[in-house]
A and B are shown apart, each in its own frame.
Chain A
């Protein structure tokens, strides 16, 4: 890969270590977390230098797929498992069982043997409820998904469009899994009546709830906790039926020229220490027994996580999205 000639040259010029390796790592993890992760890793492995390429889940996924014939990344560290499943089906990942993978909760490890990816932390759906707006508009706090179809919520709910947002798809797929195919679509038909807007970003609904633009935003817990920490008057509600989730996960890109260093990095990403780092932002992590409660995260989140069938979600995604678009997309436009 030509790109590395520059990187290697630069490294040589700086005359650091003769053994130094540069790894290009694609990620969708929040920018402020990346520095911590790299620092902790480099404390143990100073010779492996991480070059981050960070963007939103959609952009990184599209970039990886577009680069399929000439991959630029060595490792993916922190991308939705749903995206990694897509790449696994395209033969773009290098199967590898990191040392100590048996310590992880099996839910967080790819089902193949050796696994193609390993999970880091869970990214759980939740409902953000603005208490100030709720009171002002006489809209009570919901406790379940079913509540949200009550006419009292008409025009008070914003959720992400599953055709643009992974979080939106996570919700739709979880409803279909929990309520069954027919029940799921019936539920969404009823919910659609109350939705004031579908957004293109998964965090937007909670952001909008935090800013009082809507009373209720269907989003994810991590986002809600951040807004709450920033002082927004919101409650993060975990619907009683259960909540959908996805995980941030790690994989080696097939065809990497730095396989050994990539494996060293992936070995480290599943250690207890790494999981403790993940736990600073996420309440649910892959390594059992590590998770400490995270401030502002709602209680009972772990128990509410549904038994998510990632395979179902990945293999039916196209059909589900097409069905969703034909039912709700564009039709909600007033006129």
Chain B
């Protein structure tokens, strides 16, 4: 039907189509520049392999009297022995190869002299730490000759992947990461679903308080739960160590508890969005059909929330698998993929192997994207133009059960936050428990005192405003436009990617991409702009999913009606779509705000002198051993974010009261 109408009023629609496509193009371009190109630059490193090319070097050895013999190529020397001295010449970017093994008679005390050179400028070698290249001969005594090490040459290939899958200590992380992510996903999504259900479908008391408390974990840097868990459960000094029954919190247990804590609000946002808009008529229908509550739950509630549940699972899984902060602090010896990237890139400066691990991390995301495409086809809009908003009815027993359940979750969240605050006030844990405000002396703070706090605030505001506009427009274009299927599918794919990219990888990808002098966008490097772009991009997926989930619940009939009334889509967008989606839009902006306040992993590579950030200060203080000041600064971020959320709640209530009055109708 829509297609027929479309044909008849072609001129009007044509203009809309072009407007829509150009908007989509702009946002598509944004995702290409801010995400796809940097990632390709970074991930292509996974295919840079290194090996020592012996054939590029020649040597001349003298006798003890100093008369030089013939020129010999190293490759011949290597082949002279059987088996060859060096059988495997593959290495990594930092590889160095000493060559004295090629000379069976070598002794550093011998008076024999050596002449050495490379055949061309690509033949690089070090004498000690000094770099040499090229065809010029150098003459060395035996003791200096042993200081020669060859440097590898680079080519393209799959050798890094072979190395990865044949190194047990690396490969084992795949299993560990999948296990932890799967366990956490099941726990978090179940907990968050019942919590969201209690908020949306029950008449329990103090909903506002519970909603606030449940969002708290998102307000603190992910490092803080690590600190709190240590204070609470560590095997020696933990306040509640008896609860661990002799198990060590440092390891899988700690990672799972901490991950549930920090992923809970993410899941809750998405599931709440899915449950908040529902059509009361379906429940009325179920009731009049005498369906039991149980049956209604499985045939109306769950199918309606299915997309949200899946999105939440996808988000939680990827958050856990890409997070390195928590396993780094509380993971003990349990290797996880994201920590491996840290070890490779930060510990060993091996960007190539870091890129390989990053690509392995992408696999679950790509799988999830495939499932997402299939699920989308089955998704039905819940809020049609004729929908009636569902109003939960009071149910004494049920409401008290939900209240009890929600209280337990709230105690868990508040407990962890309270321990962080406690940590910030203690002078020297656990030996001097006197309280002190010394840790709030931010004049000594890492990264420029209060200015870093102001920078963080500015970053958060800019990210919230710019990000919300970009994300919501993008989601609208994907969801509500017709035609241009390929473009929309690509766009949707790109929008899901950031979730699967560890921030660290994104940060380094930005260095490689934006710090290239040939890049016309080079000028944003080292400015606030690159921090905003990286942060919006890093948190794109959840924002996008929130927007899409909200938009999906609006019937396409709105568009059809608007089209048949010959209204431009922009009018529909402003008059209907935005007001109806306002809860989601506000959620996206606050989500971006608080994450910009707490994010570390991408921006740690991108901030410069004038754009130092408070969250980075927390990380650095913790690394430097100043746990209490780190907790203090972390709590500053928490209070700022809490303030922002309270403001957000007030604004939401007023705006919603005004713009959603129609729903009550």
Contacts and interface: CB of A to CB of B under 8 A. Distances in A.
Interface of A: 2-3, 6, 24, 30-32, 51-56, 58-59, 61-63, 65-67, 69-70, 72, 85-86, 88-91, 110-112, 116, 132-133, 161-165, 197-198, 200-201, 203-204, 206-207, 210-214, 223, 226-227, 230-233, 310-311, 314-318, 321, 325-326, 329-334
B328 interface: yes
Contact of B515 (A51, A72, A333): A72
Given A111-B128, A311-B129, A3 B526 contact: yes
B129 A110 contact: yes
Contacts of A55: 604, 616, 620
B431 A233 contact: yes
A65 B512 CA distance: 10
Contact of B609 (A51, A211, A213): A51
A6 B527 contact: yes
A67 B234 CA distance: 40
B429 to A, nearest CB: 6
B172 A164 contact: no
A163 B347 contact: yes
Contact of B96 (A206, A230, A315): A315
23 contacts: A2-B522, A55-B604, A55-B616, A59-B604, A62-B349, A69-B517, A198-B333, A201-B328, A201-B623, A207-B627, A210-B428, A210-B625, A211-B237, A212-B237, A231-B427, A233-B431, A311-B129, A314-B96, A315-B128, A326-B169, A330-B168, A332-B333, A333-B251
A192 B167 CA distance: 20
A79 B220 CA distance: 30
Contacts of B625: 203-204, 206-207, 210, 223, 226-227
Contacts of B14: none
B260 interface: no
A204 B626 CA distance: 10
Given A31-B445, A54-B447, A212-B237, A90 B128 contact: no
Interface stretch (B335-343, B367-375, B478-486): B335-343
Contacts, number: 187
A146 B28 CA distance: 61
A211 B230 CA distance: 10
Nearest to A160: B347
Nearest to B347: A164
B444 A32 contact: yes
B348 A51 contact: no
B250 interface: yes
A324 B333 CA distance: 14
Q: How big is chain B's contact interface, by range? A: 35 or more
Interface stretch (B69-77, B87-95, B261-269): B87-95
A58 B130 CA distance: 22
Given A2-B523, A58-B346, A211-B237, A85 B129 contact: yes
Given A51-B608, A226-B625, A329 B169 contact: yes
Contacts of B616: 55
Contact of B446 (A54, A203, A211, A226): A54
A150 to B, nearest CB: 20
Given A62-B346, A66-B512, A213 B237 contact: yes
Given A56-B623, A161-B343, A66 B131 contact: no
Contacts of B173: 330
Nearest to A219: B625
B129 A314 contact: yes
A24 B607 CA distance: 13
Nearest to A233: B431
A69 B522 contact: no
- Chain B CB count within 10 A is highest, among A70, A204, A223, A314, for A70
A330 B428 contact: no
B348 A321 contact: yes
B334 interface: yes
Interface of B: 91-92, 94-96, 98, 126, 128-131, 147, 149, 151, 167-169, 172-173, 230, 234-237, 250-251, 328, 332-335, 339, 342-343, 345-349, 351, 427-432, 444-447, 508, 511-512, 515-517, 522-523, 525-527, 604-605, 607-610, 616, 620, 623-625, 627
Contacts of B446: 31, 54
- For the complex of A and B, 8 pairs with smallest distance between CB atoms: A58-B346, A51-B609, A164-B347, A31-B446, A66-B511, A329-B169, A207-B625, A330-B169
Given A203-B625, A318-B94, A3 B525 contact: yes
Given A55-B616, A66-B605, 7 more contacts: A54-B446, A54-B447, A58-B346, A89-B129, A197-B250, A212-B430, A311-B147
A86 B129 CA distance: 8
A59 B332 contact: no
Given A6-B527, A53-B608, A89-B129, A67 B430 contact: no
Given A55-B620, A213-B234, A213-B237, A89 B328 contact: no
A203 B623 contact: yes
A180 to B, nearest CB: 16
Given A31-B447, A54-B446, A62-B349, A231 B428 contact: yes
Contacts of B428: 210, 230-232
A30 B334 CA distance: 29
Contact of B349 (A24, A65, A213): A65
Nearest to A86: B349
A62 B507 CA distance: 11
A70 B342 CA distance: 23
A65 B609 contact: no
Given A30-B624, A56-B623, A62-B508, A330 B349 contact: no
A54 B604 CA distance: 10
A197 B445 CA distance: 30
Contact of A197 (B131, B332, B508): B332
B131 A91 contact: yes
Nearest to B438: A230
A61 B345 CA distance: 10
A324 to B, nearest CB: 10
A111 B147 CA distance: 13
Nearest to A3: B526
Contacts of A86: 94, 349
A175 B442 CA distance: 40
B98 to A, nearest CB: 7
A297 B289 CA distance: 80
Interface centre among B169, B428, B444 (most CB of A within 10 A): B169
A235 B91 CA distance: 42
Contacts of B431: 132, 212, 231-233
Q: Which of A30, A58, A198, A332 has the most CB of B within 10 A?
A: A58
A212 B236 contact: yes
A315 B126 contact: yes
A9 to B, nearest CB: 12
A70 B516 contact: yes
A197 B129 contact: no
Given A32-B444, A86-B349, A89-B131, A72 B605 contact: no
Contact of A66 (B339, B351, B627): B351
A200 B430 contact: no
Nearest to B429: A211
A330 B342 CA distance: 15
B609 A24 contact: yes
A201 B348 CA distance: 13
Contact of B129 (A67, A88, A231, A318): A88
B624 A213 contact: no
The interface centre, meaning the residue of B173, B348, B427 with most chain A CB atoms within 10 A of its CB, is B348
Given A30-B624, A316-B96, A330 B508 contact: no
B318 to A, nearest CB: 22
Contacts of B624: 30, 203
Contacts of A332: 333
B608 A231 contact: no
Contacts of A89: 126, 129, 131, 151
Nearest to A310: B129
Given A55-B620, A161-B343, A318-B96, A66 B128 contact: no
